[in-house]
Structure 1
Amino acid sequence: MSDFQVVENKLQQFIKKFYINELIRGAILYLATGVFYFLLVSGVEYFFWLPPVWRAVLFWLFIAIEFSLCFVFLLRPLLKLLHLQKGLTSKEAAKIIGRHFAEIDDKLLNALELKEQSKESSELLLASIEQKAAEIKTVSFRRAINYSKNRRYIKYVGVPVLILLFISVFGDLMTFLEGYKRVSNYTQVYQPPAPYRFVIINDTLMARDTERFVLQVKTIGQSTPKKVLLTFNQQQYVMTEKKGQVFEFEFEPQFEPLRFQLKTTTVSSPTYTLGVLKTPQLTRFSMAIRFPPHTNLSPQTYANTGSARVMAGSKINWTVAAKNTKTVLFSTKNDTATFTKTQDTVFGLNYTAKSSMRYKITPNNEDVGGYEPLAYQLEVYRDESPNMDIQTKKDSLNTQVTHHRIVLSDDFGLRDLKVVCFPQNNQNQTQTVKIGLGEGLVQQLFYDFPQGLVLEEDKAYQYYFQAKDNDQPNGYKTTKSEWFGLKTTTKTEQKGEILGRQQEQISALAEALRLMREQEEQSKSIQDQQKQSNSTDWQQEKATEQLLKQEKQNAERIKKATEQIKDAIEQIKEMDPNEDPYQEALEERIKEQQEALKENQEKLKELQDLQDKINEEDFKQDLEKLAKQQKSQQKSLEQLVEQTRRYYVAKKTEQIAAALKELGEKQIEAADKKQANQEEALEAQKQLNEAFDDLKKEMDQLEQENNALKQPMELPRDPSQEQEISKEQQKATENIDQKDQEKAKPAQKKAGEKMKEMGQKMGAQMQMMQMESIEEDTEMLRQVLDNLIVFSLEQEVLMEQILGEGANSVQFGQRINRQNTLKENFKHIDDSLFALSLRQPTMGSKINKHISDAQFYLDKALLEFADNKLSQGSASQQYVFANANALADLLDGLLTQMEQMAMSMPSPGSGEGEDGQGFQLSDVIKEQESLQQKMEQGLEEGKGAPKPGEGEGGQKGEQGQGEQQGQGKNKGDSGASPGGENSKQGLEQNYSEVLSGEIFEIFKQQQQLRQALENKLNALGLTPERKRLLENLEDIEQKILDQGYNRETLDRMRRVLHELLKIKDADLKQGQEEAREAKTSNTEYPPRNGQTIDSSKNYFEQLDILNKEALPLQPYFKKEVSRYFKKDND
């Protein structure tokens, strides 16, 4: 290819690129002008809303202009590019290229012109053309066209774009563009838009028939109307204007669909329809509750509420009435249930309360689901276990008795309360006592342990209280108290404790006696001051007031001490019911002292009243009388203190003797018992050693008490034997310590035998000493009585002499001297009787009274004779004579009683009873069971017998006394001996009118059984346990006579029957090792009532509890009441 042809090809490429560049520039300019014209047409229509004609002109003018612009800018360059239209010639193109490239200039144009001439020229011309073509063929003609220069035209496109953005930001672009739409549809008639339009803001036009519906409308446009009218049901309503061009109207609940329209003066909306949804509704709601039967609560019904507090196990029935409702749902946190439709509009659901919960009841239908659920709370509580609050106090007089106050409560009711008792570490052998309950949810009960139980001596027991409620569905819930313990003691140990407390009260009486003597001195001082002065000053009044106050306090001290001494004697009497005349007389003496003390307190009160009334004369006279009365009381108290001390020494000696025998038995048992553990054997022996040392200390203390007596007794004690026992015990201890138990056994047995021998010797010597003491006192009383009779006769003779001779007789002075001698003789009689009364409590207050009166009238007679008052002196002699005769009568009766007492006392060591052959224990057991059944039957039928008067029956009627033979002329009532005729025959005669035939028959059968059993036990061997059994039988006889059908007597019968069975078992298995199978006793002993409970209450502060029927309270309030009663009693 020639160079010229290459230039021609490049020239053609330049022309092509030239027209492509023209096409690009045209497209840009067409877009800018076309869009701008489009916006211009739309803007004209948007602003002017042209009629159809003008819109047609504008449309076709738009089409024509747009087509022209398209032809100029797009079609013409395209046709030239496609050579469909003549375009640039080669020369025109060469000129353009020449202007662009300076190195080419006219070379390309000359080459073309030469080419045109080459057809006619020579080869030289062709060579010239080739030369020029060769010079320019290396230049790229395409570089003369730069597409990037078209960028400057893009700015014209930015004008319409900015216009579109402006309209979009500050106006409504779509509304603006609708102008072209109306221009294109120039045939259609368009109306200019309103200045605003209505838009309903509500999500839906559906209203519930139970609720108001608030219609919210917003106006959108160039302006906002001043008011908007709402038209429905041919009525117009003005809507309320809110912020933000919003209008509202509240419809009342509608039951049918409603058509409405929005209007202003210039604009009206289409017709809208407000639809109505039928909502489910509960018209009636109730909840019926049936509580568990054991609560005794009446069924309750709650209307229009579902919240309640119910007990677990309660049956609940919900009943609802509803309209527009298809289903009713019951839902909790974890479960859902559906009510059962019982009628067209009634639904029901049953439920058993188990635990507390929150629940909802929701009505539903096809249109509305879960509409306004009713939320409630059900609080479920459980029947609580019984609650026990127990307070315990030891009996102040008997350490074997523990008083319990039990405050028992339950939320709905109590079934029973029991005491469960068993030996320590052996719950298989239990006894139970059922304590009677009253009415009420909160009860205060009292129980004295071991009431109703049969406990063995010297054994550790544990017990607790067990209460059950009435919750049968849950198996009667049980509450157990803490465990209590008691170590039973032997009767000997109990007797020692009682005597120890008695000793304290004797010391209190002695202190009261000392204070009484001091008060006597103060009283004398006050009386002397009053005699010296005519009037009472302030200091005397204060001293008198203080004296009366001290005497009152001392009287209370004496009263308390005598009561406790009397209780101690009663306890000793119950433990040892054998007849003890000294003890009986001491009881009577204490009773007399208490009566005198009561009179003294009344007199003190009268004196205080007189002092307040400032009646000096009466007060002085009564103060003198009180001084005289207290002097007599002081003497009586001094006698009582000494008598009580002697009683204590005697009983303490008996108790130590019995303790020695028991300790000897234990020592022998320790020798016979084979201890596997050497340490246990050593410890057991050390305890026995300590026990004997304690007994020696008690004997030392007893000697001190005895030496404190004004007339000490000769106590039976053998120090050498005590040393031998201690040596044997020490020897046994050393052998055991050296692990030689076999070698220790002889020493142990020897020590035990010596203890028993020592105890028997002490008891026998004490009994002998008491017999000798009675004989000595009897002889002394006989001498005193003889002297008193002589005094009485001489007083009678002297009285007749003075009356016969008169005051003018020369022998009148001798008679007065004789009267003074008789006074001194009577003082000796008084001293002798006082010394005797310190040993004999039978010499009571009556004797003291006659002695005091006789002394008073002896002094008075001498004073009156000294004043020559013969008649008054003779009258005083008459009183002396009368009191001496009465005193002689009393002493004569007392002498006879003491003589019989000495004759009736058995000699030491003597026994009684027959062999008892042919007698079987099983027969006695059967008869005793029969008597027990009769007693139980009598109690169930409510039978009983009144108690005979105290002080008239004597002590068990076993010591019959004959009629007293007085020595004086005037015998009176005082001549009878204390106790009167007490024989069994006398009892039958005196009580036959009171006791029923059944009770007396039981008494006789019980007496016969005791006598038969006594004969048998004497034959078998009278051990301490069997002796106590006989004593219990005697006590039962007395209880039958005194109290008739009685719960306490029945308890004693049960214990006796238990002991009889033990004796029978021991008799059958004698010589064999006893292997007992532990059994549980389920016998329930009802508690004693009456005095036992009353005495228990005195040990506790009173806690008033209203034991009422369950009040008809709501469960919440019942819970609060229960919480109140459960508070600690601070």
Structure 2
Amino acid sequence: MTVLIFLTVYTFLSLIEYFGYLSGDKRKVIFFGFVIFGVLLVIQFIGVPMLKLFHILKPIDIKSSSTLIQKHFSDIKDKLINIIELADIYEEQYSNEIVLASIDQKIKELKIFDFKEAIQFKNLRLVLLYLIISLVTVLSIFIINKSVFAESTHRIIHYNTQFIKPAPFSFQLVNSSLQAKKGDAFKIMVNCKGDEIPKIVYINIEGNNYLMKNTVEGNFEFEIVSVINTINFYFTDLKFNSEKFVLDLLPKPAISGFELKIFPPFYTGLQNQSLENIGDIQIPNGTKIEWNFNGIDIDSLFFLLSDSTIINSVKNQKVFTIESKFVATTDYNVFIQNKMTEPELALSYSIEVIPDLFPEIEIVQMKDSFQLTRFFFKGIIGDDYGFSDLNFHYNINNSDSLVSIPFIKSLADQEFYFSFDFSQLNQASGVISYYFSVTDNDVINNYKTTTSDNFIFEIPSNEQISATEKERFQNIEKLIEQSREMAKDINSDLKNLRLKNMDTNVSEWEKSQMVNDVISKQNKLEQLYDKIKQDNENLNNYLNSFKGQNQDMFEKQQEIESLLEEVFTDELKKLMEEFNKLAEEFDSKKLNQLSEQMDLTFEDLQKQLDKNLELLRKMKVEQKLQDVIDGINKMADEEEQLAQDVVEKKNFQETTDKVSEHQEELKQLNKNLDDALELNDELNKPMNFDDFDNEFKEIENSLEESKTELDKNNTKKSGKGINNTSEQLKNMAFSMQQMLQSNTMQQNMENIENLKQLLSNLIILSFSQEEILTELGGINTNDPGLVQLNKRQKSIVNQSKVVKDSLYALAMRTPQITSMVNNELLSMELSLSKSVEQMEEALFPNARASQQFVITAANNLALMLNEALENLEKQMADGMSGDQQCEKPGGGKPGMDMLKKASDNIKQQLQQMIDQMKSGQGQQMNNQLGQSLIQHEMMQQMLRELMNSGGVGSSAKKQLQQIDEMLEQNRKEIMNKTINAQTIVRQNLINTRLLEAEKAEIERDFENKRDSKSAEEFYSNPVKFFEYKERDNYSIEYLNKNTHKLNNFYNIKYKQYLNNMEK
């Protein structure tokens, strides 16, 4: 019975739990209830009977037993009770026999009953049936699904454990860990698998359901924004629940702040820096950085760099320190952790390492137009932090040499100036390559060097120099011939134009077109002559640079250059300007007048061109002869050295090779001499100069004999022969030099005689003209002596032609007779022509004025020629060759300082006169007017002398001409007593123009480089060379030279700004 009840209750409770998935509390009740029930059942049905069986407990009494039997056998009635009572009486010792007898009687009555029937085994069969049914049921359930008893029993026994009722699907937690750091967000993810997947899943957190986000079918997630406490949760679809989970809270490591210290390399000159909580930085290459981190709940801290390098920190109390040197850009990630957490990324920054770039260098080179072997360089060097070296390199025959250049080591961007004359290398000929190099101060990268572009300079050989000289000189000759022919054509056109002008059938338009044709030719002639001047200057510079002309030849070049400059005189230019106006407003009368003047002027121009060509040829002959002499002297010195070397060093082969070279050079010198003599023959008056053929042959034979002895290794004879050759060369050079000097002296003597004769003729002409001028003053139109005066005037014209022809002939061979002389001669010729015409037309006042001009021009000519004569005589007396110390006539010209002083005095005087006019001091003002007029005339005279002297350039001359016009205007206002404030303004403008003219002259002197002292300073300081050409760049250079330190970003922007300014 116990088993039946137990199995029945157990099966019932198991089924309830298996299908009901009771809560823990209910399972707890069932567990303890079942236990209690089982205990009671065992006690009741097994324990108690067993105790009674063993009489531990009082068993059932006989009366109770009889009552039970009586209930089963109703016929027995009270018989068993009576027997029990009789037995009790027997025990109390009543009459035993009676009692026993009564008992026996009763027993006999009861023997008919079978007491075994009182036990109902039929009832036990029913119980057994129930038991069997229970066992079969239990066994069936166990066989069908043994988990019914196992799982339910397990769950009931483990009532404290949460068991989830199996659903058609399962909740599978995706998270591998349910640990979160305080304050972090945490995403809970669950995956549902099974036959039926729920469409909606909730997460139950602390009894509250929250809808989870369905990402894909069967996957759900829910994010807790900030975890601040431990969280209990489970998943549910409101039908089925998952097991319960706990999200544990871990201590979170955190960085509360950090300090960053930057230590740049010492050579950069940058200051150390300290930054707070700034991680993204730019640093120079090789910078050392130190980080100090403060943190919370941190046990360790390390860096992970871009290249996977790990840098661990050093902990000092609560501060974590990392230090490292960086040479490349990298990202660095700061990882922190503690005992409860894995390493996590706390911070992420980048370090941009600014590489120390190669230094930069830019070179601008300019060749000296005067000395072609000299170059001026302006360089700009730039670097991040400074320089350690700056050099100029030149390479000759693969041998590199350098010249150090001064610089400022710590200035990142700077300019330098440098000049170099390749002639100082004493290189006969060949190619020289050169460049600049700059080295930075980058100690870490072992210094970096950048070189500029490689430049090439070629020193021509003597053969190349001779060929170039010949070609260029021939071109100049052709250009002069073309100029002379063009001037001749213009002269012819002018005469033709005068004839056409008298022809009434020719229209004004045709005449205007003819004027335009003449103007066009004039412009071409001027351009052509400009090219002649430029080509001649270039040729002289070329020869001076590569041949080293002596001072005498150099001064002759300058004199001829001056003559070329003065061919187009101011009077000619003024005439041409007036003639150009005829193209716009044609005037027949003015055309005749101008054409006649221009006819004479262009005729004079032709003669000047002839003179210049003759002087150029003469100078070229002298130059070529001097070159031959210098070459021979050089060869003689080399032969002398060879003789010494062959005796001392016995280097026969080298000496033989050198002698062979001398043989070739001697042939070239002989050819050069022939060329010079050939050019000499083309002169109007050639010099007397031998060809020296015999001497050349003797020297050539001597050289051949020396070679023969050298081939025999005969020291004594070869040395003697070479010495003999050296003496022969020296003797020939001396003879040539003497012959050249003799020609020069002879020419000077002839020039002196011719000058004296010219002076005498000029004086006679001047006195004759003065007599006519005097006589013409007291004559009238009816005077019979007028005819004789006309004849005498024409006679003076004829005399002037003789003077003119003689002067031109002398000028052909004397460069000292400049265009100033020609100008005066032309002025005298024009005035004579006018005087004859005016006398024939009985215009006596005009004729007298023209005659006065003739006298003035003749006297000026006499003064100039006398000055030239004195210079020639001085040279002769000093025994000097050529015209080394000849100076141009017109020395002692007024300078700019005198003009400025005169202008200041005039201004002061004008101001005083205005004040006197205001105060009514009339008499004093009249005195001032007279003095001011005198000062104006004196200043105008100085001004015109300066302009006519040819000593000022075209730019300054233009300013002086404007000053002359303004002075004339002021002079008229003074004469008319109309002085006003405008007069003072004009005088101030005169001062300004004087300053501009002075500046123009300074610039002209600077450009031409004629003053030796200035040239020396100019060459020794190339900064001045570039200062003149780069004045406009002052502001840029000022900005570029500043020493302000900028960080990398702003430094890049700053350089871009400067580059844009320079563009």
Q: Which residue of 1 aligns with 2:748?
A: 774
Q: CA deviation at 1:520?
A: 4.2
- Of 892, 895, 908, 2:866 maps to 892
1:354 touches 1:380 (CA, 8 Å); kept in 2? Answer: yes
Deviation string, structure 1 residues 888-926 (Cα, Å, up to 9, x no partner): 233233333322322221699xxxxxxxxxxxxxxxxxx
For 2:601 and 2:375, the matched residues in 1 are separated by 42
Q: Which residue of 2 aligns with 1:862?
A: 836
Deviation string, structure 1 residues 798-857 (Cα, Å, up to 9, x no partner): 444455454434453343233323322221111011101111122222321221122112
- Of 229, 237, 254, 1:281 maps to 254
Any residues of structure 2 matched to 1:434-833 within 5 Å, and which? 434-435=405-406, 441=412, 445-450=416-421, 465-471=436-442, 477-478=448-449, 508-509=479-480, 511-525=482-496, 529=500, 532=503, 533=506, 535-537=508-510, 539-540=513-514, 542-544=516-518, 546-561=520-535, 563-564=537-538, 576-577=550-551, 580=552, 587=558, 590-591=561-562, 593-594=564-565, 597=568, 599=570, 603=574, 606=577, 610=581, 614=585, 620=591, 629-674=601-646, 679-736=653-710, 743-833=717-807
Any residues of structure 2 matched to 1:52-201 within 5 Å, and which? 60-61=132-133, 176-179=145-148, 199-201=171-173
For 1:506 and 1:583, the matched residues in 2 are separated by 20
1:512 touches 1:558 (CA, 8 Å); kept in 2? Answer: no
Residue identity in the other structure for 2:405: K
For 2:217 and 2:601, the matched residues in 1 are separated by 115
- Of 333, 340, 350, 1:367 maps to 340
Residue identity in the other structure for 1:657: I
2:762 touches 2:803 (CA, 8 Å); kept in 1? Answer: yes
For 1:572 and 1:1041, the matched residues in 2 are separated by 21
1:493–1:268 distance in 2 versus 1, CA, 3 Å: closer
Q: CA deviation at 1:384?
A: 4.2
Q: Does 1:880 align with 2:952?
A: no
2:417 touches 2:1022 (CA, 8 Å); kept in 1? Answer: no
SS of structure 1 residue aligned to 2:438: strand
Q: Which residue of 2 aligns with 1:1107?
A: 1040
For 2:194 and 2:1011, the matched residues in 1 are separated by 121
For 1:220 and 1:385, the matched residues in 2 are separated by 66
Q: Does 1:904 align with 2:878?
A: yes
For 1:182 and 1:975, the matched residues in 2 are separated by 138
* Higher RCO structure, 1 or 2 (CA under 8 Å, sep 6+): 1
Deviation string, structure 1 residues 412-468 (Cα, Å, up to 9, x no partner): 2234533467997888xx7845345699645564533238x9656869999764533
1:664 touches 1:755 (CA, 8 Å); kept in 2? Answer: yes
For 1:1105 and 1:472, the matched residues in 2 are separated by 29
TM score, norm. by length of structure 1 = 0.60
2:893 touches 2:945 (CA, 8 Å); kept in 1? Answer: no
1:671 touches 1:748 (CA, 8 Å); kept in 2? Answer: yes
Aligned pair count reads: 819
Q: Does 1:257 align with 2:230?
A: yes
Q: Does 1:839 align with 2:813?
A: yes
1:462 touches 1:486 (CA, 8 Å); kept in 2? Answer: yes
Deviation string, structure 1 residues 774-800 (Cα, Å, up to 9, x no partner): 111111222222222233333333444
Please tell me the root mean square deviation across aligned C-alpha atoms, in Å. Answer: 5.6
For 2:680 and 2:877, the matched residues in 1 are separated by 27
For 1:604 and 1:61, the matched residues in 2 are separated by 156
For 1:56 and 1:403, the matched residues in 2 are separated by 135
Residue identity in the other structure for 2:804: D
Q: CA deviation at 1:753?
A: 1.7
Q: Which residue of 2 aligns with 1:354?
A: 327
2:303 touches 2:332 (CA, 8 Å); kept in 1? Answer: yes
Q: CA deviation at 1:683?
A: 2.2
SS of structure 1 residue aligned to 2:520: helix
Residue identity in the other structure for 1:902: M
1:639 touches 1:837 (CA, 8 Å); kept in 2? Answer: yes
Q: Which residue of 1 aligns with 2:898?
A: none
For 1:189 and 1:800, the matched residues in 2 are separated by 162
1:502 touches 1:568 (CA, 8 Å); kept in 2? Answer: no
Deviation string, structure 1 residues 370-415 (Cα, Å, up to 9, x no partner): 2136555545455345344557676565454345554533332234
Q: Which moved more, 1:226-235 or 1:788-797?
A: 226-235
For 2:189 and 2:653, the matched residues in 1 are separated by 104
Residue identity in the other structure for 2:1040: N
Q: Which moved more, 1:293-302 or 1:709-718?
A: 293-302
For 1:464 and 1:245, the matched residues in 2 are separated by 78
1:884–1:738 distance in 2 versus 1, CA, 3 Å: same
Q: CA deviation at 1:692?
A: 1.0
1:592–1:658 distance in 2 versus 1, CA, 3 Å: closer
Q: Structure 1: where are the runs of 5+ without partners?
A: 1-40, 68-159, 161-171, 909-949, 955-971, 980-1038, 1052-1086
1:566 touches 1:590 (CA, 8 Å); kept in 2? Answer: no
- Of 323, 326, 332, 2:299 maps to 326
1:56 touches 1:183 (CA, 8 Å); kept in 2? Answer: no
Q: Which residue of 2 aligns with 1:129?
A: none
- Of 409, 418, 426, 2:382 maps to 409
SS of structure 1 residue aligned to 2:508: coil
Q: Which residue of 1 aligns with 2:907?
A: none
Q: Structure 2: where are the runs of 5+ without partners?
A: 1-10, 21-29, 39-125, 883-889, 895-940, 950-1008
1:642 touches 1:710 (CA, 8 Å); kept in 2? Answer: yes
Q: CA deviation at 1:297?
A: 4.1
1:198 touches 1:217 (CA, 8 Å); kept in 2? Answer: no
For 2:344 and 2:127, the matched residues in 1 are separated by 59
For 2:359 and 2:548, the matched residues in 1 are separated by 38
1:282 touches 1:320 (CA, 8 Å); kept in 2? Answer: yes
- Of 1077, 1081, 1089, 2:1022 maps to 1089
2:437 touches 2:450 (CA, 8 Å); kept in 1? Answer: yes
For 2:494 and 2:130, the matched residues in 1 are separated by 152
Q: CA deviation at 1:362?
A: 0.9
1:198–1:568 distance in 2 versus 1, CA, 3 Å: closer
Q: CA deviation at 1:1115?
A: 3.5
For 1:707 and 1:623, the matched residues in 2 are separated by 38
Q: Which residue of 2 aligns with 1:313?
A: 286
State, as a whole percentage, how many aligned pairs show the same letter. 20
1:804–1:261 distance in 2 versus 1, CA, 3 Å: closer
Q: CA deviation at 1:714?
A: 1.8
Residue identity in the other structure for 1:877: Q
Q: CA deviation at 1:762?
A: 0.8
For 2:859 and 2:525, the matched residues in 1 are separated by 34
1:339 touches 1:349 (CA, 8 Å); kept in 2? Answer: yes
For 1:953 and 1:817, the matched residues in 2 are separated by 39
SS of structure 2 residue aligned to 1:372: strand
2:169 touches 2:197 (CA, 8 Å); kept in 1? Answer: no
1:524–1:297 distance in 2 versus 1, CA, 3 Å: farther
Q: Which residue of 2 aligns with 1:24?
A: none
Q: Which moved more, 1:198-207 or 1:652-661?
A: 198-207
Residue identity in the other structure for 2:638: K
